[in-house]
Homo-oligomer: A and B are copies of this chain.
Amino acid sequence: MPDSLADLSRQLQKFANDREWQQFHSPKNLASALIVEAGELLEHFQWMTEEQSRALPQEKLEAVAAEVSDVLLYLVQLTNALGIDPIAAAQAKLSLNELKYPVDRARGSSKKYDEN
């Protein structure tokens, strides 16, 4: 995990170590915390139309960015705890998706997603 995410990872380890929070940070608990934050993120959008979600007012955008950050902070901590490199894992998954959804068959169709 190079660069920007690696910096974040080191800072988060120090943050948790300084507070002796690693005891609470089992992968099970971090995966729970991640989905809780994903819920707070989705809450901003739940009564919006899709169109409204594409054109957020500045204040809402900042609130959404804060929730996205919380998701990312737990995701990095979870990959730390498990010894996973998130970028390498994401690149591998993206390569699989390239095979799973060939351009000429997937174009313009949301149905491909349903096969997951």
Contact = CB atoms under 8 A, between A and B. Distances in A.
A36 to B, nearest CB: 5
Contacts of A106: 19, 21
Interface string A1-29: 11111001001100100111101101111
Contact of A8 (B70, B79, B91): B91
Main secondary structure on A side of the interface with B? helix
A40 B33 CA distance: 11
B64 A68 contact: no
Interface in A76-116: 76, 78-79, 81-82, 84, 86-87, 89-94, 97-98, 101, 103, 106-108, 110, 113-114, 116
